[in-house]
């Protein structure tokens, strides 16, 4: 009951990927990409516009995986254009110019009537009936449809008893049925996992070391002989690629998008929250940060098994209707101070993290263990096993 | 996509004296608004190098506080003079409260961060924004003041002389715009006096030239930071109180985000930390805004987002051509 719902986890996955891509550039090179939502929005809109047949040369039946790849490449081009201008600046100015680019796209897409009849409210997939599917393009049996309201169901295993009509076979008959939610969970999780491993690989390559060198001291990195401009451009392009993939996954699952939840600068702000809470400068951290955010959000809403239904059950009518102050009852108090107030508590936590835990959850855990969690846990197990008399 | 009817049409449209006058007045009014909302931001950055992300929500809080004073006492002052006098009382109240709040915020939250990379100040003030916004939302729910929609009761306290459109030599001049221009001039003059005639103004000017040197010469930096942060936040609140009367902005939760971005643009375009630059950039953005709004409403160009879009195009254009801003010193943004 304390685990988040599958639907929540799907959000954690695709938004966590976006937060990871934000952290990839901001946490590892130290350049705060405050307009990172530009890439997320680009990926999100690209998928829907192709599905609605509004992108020249691409039919509305283009496989989803191709779309993700193309969206990523488009973002790479955009990142190189943006970066060519933005990397002439540092610090606050870099953050502002990326923010400026993102806001230009935001205003543009919320007013451009080509994308849909009411661009300010966003657009939905209208041009195709089937859900988007993740898998190997053009091989139907290796594709799984994802979607919030539609999507594949999947049965794993075999029911021999039903197939043969022999009841005696029932002990070896096992089936697991995945609903659309679970299928989306695994398929989106798979893409996010691959992206995570790719980013992880890049960070641990010489290129990734150069990125960290830039964060620690850019002048010194240049003096050592790195072409820092090219490293930064490369990092920004890679980060843009994964940001757009995250955006594509978001609309692939939700099949609708609005300027507010894609291009708007506060979308990048949410990624920033996730990165700081999870661990700035760790690849996996933002995913945990987002999990925390979504978990708290779910905990503080009326639906599901969170705090509010629990309080309502435990407190009873009498307590709920007790007047605290000037006709203000306990029930209203819960409504005002708890229901949907995740933003407040996340914000408070964020401030506390910036002040006292600047490394975030994962970074602090790493500092405590003295290395990456995976490495230290494995080493500890190894030490323990060696001690055993076999 | 952007159908230009004809260049000649546009030129003749703007040569019409009544249109020209309207654009001039709109531009001046918008310029004063932009200067007012950016002034606090630039003061704080000038001395401390802190880009205050919480600026927008503090403006929103100022708008609600100002509105609260106006609505509570509106009945006791119904005439033109009474209401305007009451507005100045509201401004003083808002300024005092927010200056105290800003000072407390600097001492308790921002002070521990000065020895960290400047990135962390952006992060912290961004977090403060989220908290303030949610707190504001909670307070509004608690008192049953509708959140997120414009707070109409506050706008209703506008005196008649300001709501009306006056006829001056054939030009329709809105009272509110005149009021905004006058107040903008007063605040600009006030900040200028603060900068050139007071000790803390001297510190700000010294700090934006060379912060380390100012410190070495014995400026009580801690105290100066607290005072300047407080005053910067106070001015922001006053700007909010003014916006409360303007139906284009009004007191709402969203005011925070609406104000924050133009304020950033104006401050960056002018050059971070220079008040002169902020004023020039505010006038520039104000006039571009007025001009493009006119262009859009008169159906010469059929793309409704032009004013909004142009603000950010100015930002990007400035940063490409002159990264330190119009009047900025190159080293200021170097960290």
Any idea which residue has 């405050």 for tokens?
A34
Shortest distance, CA A126 to any CA of chain B (angstroms): 23
User: Among B236, B206, B207, which residue's Cα sits nearest to residue B114?
Assistant: B207
Residue range A218-241, pLDDT digits in tens? 999 999 999 999 999 999 999 999
Among A160-164, A296-300, B109-113, B280-284, which range has the highest average pLDDT?
Answer: B280-284
Measured distance CA(A242)–CA(A29) in Å, rounded: 16
Q: Among A111, A336, A354, whose Cβ lies nearest the Cβ of B141?
A: A336
Cα nearest neighbour of A84 on chain B? B320
Chain A within 8 Å of B133 (Cβ-Cβ)?
yes
- Asked if A107's CB is within 8 angstroms of B316's CB, the reply is no
Express each pLDDT in B257-266 by its tens digit: 889 989 999 9
Q: What's the Cα-to-Cα distance from A61 to each of A106, A128, A147, B88, B125, rounded to whole Å?
A: 27, 7, 16, 63, 45
Nearest CB to B130; choose among A92, A110, A343: A343
Angstrom distances, CA of residue B122 to CA of A34, B114, B216, B247:
10, 12, 26, 31
Label residue A196 by pLDDT band (50, 70, 90): very high
Evaluate if residue B212 carries a pLDDT over 80: no
| pLDDT tens digits along B239-249 | 999 998 888 88
Please give the Cα distance from B75 to B158 (Å, whole number).
12
Which one of B131, B264, B319 has the shortest CB-CB distance to A347? B131
β-bridge pairing A328-329 and A143-145: unpaired
Interface test with A, best of B126, B140, B318 (most A CBs within 10 A): B126
CA angle A31/A35/A40 to nearest 5° reads 115
**Chain B: nearest CA to A179, how far in angstroms?**
36
From chain B, the residues in CB contact with A104 under 8 A are 309, 312-313, 316
Distance CA B328, CA A93 (A): 12
Q: B253: distance to nearest CA of chain A, Å?
A: 14
Closest CA to A247 of A271, A219, A280, A218: A271
Query: How far is the alpha carbon of A143 from chain B, nearest alpha carbon, in Å?
Result: 38
pLDDT score, position A238? 97
Q: Which long-range contacts (C-beta less than 8 Å, at least 24 apart) are formed by A147-153?
A: A147/A180, A147/A184, A147/A252, A147/A253, A147/A255, A148/A7, A148/A184, A148/A253, A148/A254, A148/A255, A149/A180, A149/A255, A150/A180, A151/A180, A151/A181, A151/A183, A151/A184, A152/A180, A152/A183, A153/A177, A153/A178, A153/A179, A153/A180, A153/A183
Q: What is the pLDDT of residue B213?
A: 80
Give the number of other Cβ atoms within 10 Å of residue B254's Cβ: 16
| Nearest residue, CB atoms, A100 vs list B129, B312, B333 | B312
Asked if A66 reaches chain B (Cβ–Cβ under 8 Å), the answer is: no
Interface of A with B in 166-225 (CB under 8 A): none
pLDDT in tens, B14-42: 777 778 888 888 899 999 999 999 999 99
Length of chain A: 390
For B111, name the nearest residue in chain A, comparing CA atoms only.
Answer: A355
Q: What is the pLDDT of residue B119?
A: 81
Summarised one tens digit per residue, pLDDT across range A307-330 is: 777 777 777 777 777 777 666 777
Report the pLDDT averaged over residues A165-186: 81
Q: How confident is the model at residue B335 (pLDDT cuts 50, 70, 90)?
A: very low
- Selecting from A101, A348, A351 the residue whose C-beta is nearest the C-beta of B124 gives A351
Q: Average pLDDT of B195-208?
A: 83
Per the CB < 8 A criterion, the answer to whether B233 and B102 are in contact is yes
Q: Is the pLDDT of residue B300 over 80?
A: no
Indicate the pLDDT class of residue B2, thresholds 50, 70 and 90: very low
Tell me the shortest Cα–Cα distance from A87 to chain B, in angstroms.
Answer: 10
Q: Looking at the predicted structure, is the pLDDT value of residue A202 above 90? A: yes
CB-nearest to B120 from A89, A265, A354 is: A354
**Region A152-165 average pLDDT:** 76
Q: A76-107: buried (b, 16+ CB within 10 Å) or exposed (e) per residue?
A: bebbeebbebbbebbbbbbbbbbbbbbbbbbb
Task: Take residue A71 and report the two structure tokens written for it.
Answer: 């969206």
- Confidence class of residue B334 from pLDDT cuts 50, 70 and 90? very low
Helix (H) or strand (E) holding A157: strand A154-158
* Residue that has been written with the tokens 């307009």 in this structure: A35
Q: How far apart are CA B47 and CA B265, in angstroms?
A: 19
Please judge whether A92 and B118 are an interchain contact, meaning their C-beta atoms are less than 8 angstroms apart.
Answer: yes
Q: Which of B319, B322, B331, B335 to substitute to test the interface with A, most A CBs within 10 Å?
A: B319
* Position B169 confidence tier, pLDDT thresholds 50, 70, 90: low
Q: A100, A119, A260, A337: best mutation site toward chain B, by most B Cβ within 10 Å? A: A100
Q: Give the whole-angstrom CA distance, residue A382 versus residue A385.
A: 5
Nearest-by-Cβ selection for A111 from B138, B261, B303 = B303
List the structure tokens of A246.
């995250």
pTM confidence score? 0.89
Q: Residues near A227 by Cβ (< 8 Å), separated by ≥ 6? A: none
The mean of the pLDDT values for chain B is 83
Contact A100 B319 (CB under 8 A): yes
Contacts of B16 (CB under 8 A, 6+ apart): none
List, as one string, the DSSP characters of B214-279: HHHTT--HHHHHHHHHHHHHHHHHHHHHHHTT-TTT-S-TTHHHHHHHHHHHHHHHH-TT-HHHHH
Residue A30 in tokens:
């130290």
Q: Sign of torsion, CA B87 B90 B92 B95?
A: negative
pLDDT digits (tens, 9 = 90+) for A281-309: 899 999 999 999 988 888 887 666 677 77
Q: How confident is the model at residue B121 (pLDDT cuts 50, 70, 90)?
A: confident
Residues A369, A361: Cα–Cα separation, whole Å: 12
C-alpha A200/C-alpha A283 separation (Å) is 6
Pick the more confident residue, B256 or A238.
Answer: A238
Residues from chain A that touch B51, judged by Cβ atoms under 8 A, are 92
Average pLDDT, chain A: 87
pLDDT tens sequence across B45-103: 887 788 889 999 999 999 999 988 888 887 777 777 888 888 899 999 999 999 999 99
**Above pLDDT 90, what percent of chain B?**
27
pLDDT at B199 over 90: no
Q: Which of B262, B260, B315 is nearest to B53 (CA)?
A: B260
| Phi, psi torsion values for A33, nearest 5 degrees | -90, 80
Q: Is B79 an 8 Å CB contact of chain A?
A: no
The H-assigned helical ranges of chain A are 6-29, 37-51, 64-86, 91-109, 160-164, 180-203, 206-216, 218-224, 228-254, 265-278, 285-299, 307-320, 330-337, 342-356, 360-369, 373-387
B118/A91 Cβ within 8 A: yes
B261 vs A: CB within 8 A: yes
Stretch A21-49: mean pLDDT, rounded?
Answer: 94
**Per-residue pLDDT tens for A102-133?**
999 999 998 888 888 888 888 888 877 777 88
Q: Of residues A233 and A379, which shows the higher confidence score?
A: A233
Residue B332 pLDDT exceeds 50:
no
With a cut of 90, say whether residue B233 has pLDDT above it.
yes
pLDDT for position A1: 52
- Chain B residues in contact with A99 by the CB 8 A cut-off are 261, 264
**Between chains, do B124 and A269 touch, taking CB under 8 Å as contact?**
no
Q: Which candidate from B127, B313, B323 shows the least CB-CB separation from A354?
A: B127
Predicted pLDDT at B170: 66
A390 has pLDDT over 60:
no
Q: Strand ranges (DSSP E) for chain B?
A: 165-168, 171-174
Which residues lie closer than 8 Å to B6 by C-beta, 6 or more apart?
A: none
Report the pLDDT value the prediction gives residue B5, as an integer from 0 to 100. 54
Query: Does the pLDDT value for residue A17 go beyond 80?
Result: yes
Q: State residue B214's pLDDT score.
A: 77
Residue of A nearest to B112 (CA): A355
Q: Note the pLDDT of residue A206.
A: 95
Identify the weakest region by mean pLDDT among A74-78, B6-10, B122-126: B6-10
**Which residue of A lies nearest to B124 if distances are taken between CA atoms?**
A351
Q: How far, in Å, CA of A81 to CA of B133, rounded? A: 35
Q: What is the mean pLDDT of residues B178-187?
A: 90
CB spacing of B131 vs A111 below 8 angstroms = no
Nearest Cα of chain B lies from the Cα of A107 at a distance, in angstroms, of 6
Cα(B117)–Cα(A31) distance, rounded to whole angstroms? 12
Coil/strand/helix, residue A178: strand
């Amino acid at each position: 009951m304390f685990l988040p719902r599958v639907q929540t986890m799907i959000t954690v996955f695709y938004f966590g990927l976006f937060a990871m891509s934000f952290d990839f550039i901001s946490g590892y090179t130290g350049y705060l990409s405050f307009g990172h939502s530009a890439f997320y929005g680009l990926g999100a809109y690209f998928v829907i516009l192709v599905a609605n047949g509004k992108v020249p040369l691409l039919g509305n039946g283009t496989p989803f995986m191709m779309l993700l790849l193309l969206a990523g490449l488009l973002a790479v081009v955009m990142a190189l254009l943006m970066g060519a201008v933005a990397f002439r600046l540092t610090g606050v100015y870099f953050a502002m110019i990326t923010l400026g680019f993102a806001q230009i796209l935001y205003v543009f897409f919320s007013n451009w009537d080509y994308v849909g009849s009411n661009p300010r409210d966003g657009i939905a997939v209208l041009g195709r009936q089937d859900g988007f599917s993740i898998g190997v393009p053009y091989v139907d049996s290796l594709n799984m449809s994802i979607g919030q309201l539609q999507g594949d169901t999947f049965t794993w295993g075999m029911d021999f008893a039903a197939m043969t009509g022999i009841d005696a076979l029932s002990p070896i008959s096992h089936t697991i049925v995945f609903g659309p939610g679970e299928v989306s969970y695994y398929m989106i999780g798979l893409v996010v996992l691959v992206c995570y491993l790719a980013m992880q690989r890049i960070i641990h390559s010489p290129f990734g070391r150069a990125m960290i060198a830039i964060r620690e001291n850019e002048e010194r990195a240049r003096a050592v002989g790195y072409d820092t401009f090219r490293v930064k451009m490369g990092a920004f392009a890679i980060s843009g690629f994964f940001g757009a993939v995250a955006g594509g996954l978001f609309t692939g699952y939700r099949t609708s998008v609005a300027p507010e939840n894609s291009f708007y600068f506060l979308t990048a702000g949410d990624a920033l929250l996730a990165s700081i809470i999870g661990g700035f400068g760790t690849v996996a951290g933002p995913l945990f940060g987002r999990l925390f955010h979504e978990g708290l959000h779910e905990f503080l809403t009326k639906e599901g098994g969170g705090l509010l239904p629990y309080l309502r059950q435990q407190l009873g009518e009498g307590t709920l209707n007790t007047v605290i102050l000037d006709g203000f009852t306990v029930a209203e108090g819960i409504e005002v101070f708890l229901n949907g107030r995740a933003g407040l508590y996340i914000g408070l936590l964020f401030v506390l993290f910036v002040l006292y835990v600047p490394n975030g959850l994962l970074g602090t855990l790493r500092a405590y263990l003295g290395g990456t969690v995976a490495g230290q846990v494995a080493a500890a197990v190894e030490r323990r096993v060696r001690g055993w008399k076999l | 996509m952007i159908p230009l009817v004809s260049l000649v049409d546009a030129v003749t449209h703007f040569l019409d004296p009544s249109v020209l006058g309207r654009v001039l007045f709109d531009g001046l009014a918008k310029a004063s608004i932009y200067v007012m909302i950016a002034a606090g931001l630039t003061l704080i950055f000038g001395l401390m190098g802190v880009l205050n992300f919480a600026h927008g929500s503090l403006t929103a809080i100022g708008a609600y506080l100002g509105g609260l004073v106006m609505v509570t006492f509106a009945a006791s002052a119904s005439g033109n003079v009474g209401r305007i006098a009451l507005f100045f009382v509201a401004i003083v109240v808002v300024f005092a409260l927010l200056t105290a709040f800003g000072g407390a915020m600097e001492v308790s939250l921002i002070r521990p961060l000065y020895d960290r990379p400047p990135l962390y100040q952006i992060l912290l003030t961004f977090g403060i924004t989220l908290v303030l916004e949610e707190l504001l939302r909670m307070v509004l729910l608690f008192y049953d003041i509708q959140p997120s929609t414009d707070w109409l009761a506050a706008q209703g306290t506008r005196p008649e002389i300001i709501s009306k459109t006056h006829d001056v030599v054939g030009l329709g001049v809105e009272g509110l715009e005149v009021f905004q221009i006058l107040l903008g001039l007063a605040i600009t003059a006030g900040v200028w006096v603060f900068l050139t005639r007071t000790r803390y103004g001297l510190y700000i000017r010294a700090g934006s030239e060379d912060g380390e040197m100012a410190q070495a010469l014995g400026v009580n930096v801690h105290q100066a930071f607290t005072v300047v942060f407080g005053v910067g936040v106070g001015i922001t609140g006053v700007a909010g109180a003014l916006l409360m009367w303007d139906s284009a902005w009004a007191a709402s939760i969203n005011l925070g985000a609406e104000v924050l971005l133009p304020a950033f643009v104006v401050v960056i375009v002018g050059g971070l930390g220079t008040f002169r630059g902020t004023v020039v950039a505010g006038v520039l953005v104000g006039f571009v805004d007025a001009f493009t709004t006119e262009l859009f409403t008169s159906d010469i160009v059929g793309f409704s987002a032009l004013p909004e879009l142009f603000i950010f195009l100015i930002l990007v254009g400035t940063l490409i051509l002159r990264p330190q801003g119009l009047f900025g010193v190159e080293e200021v943004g170097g960290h």
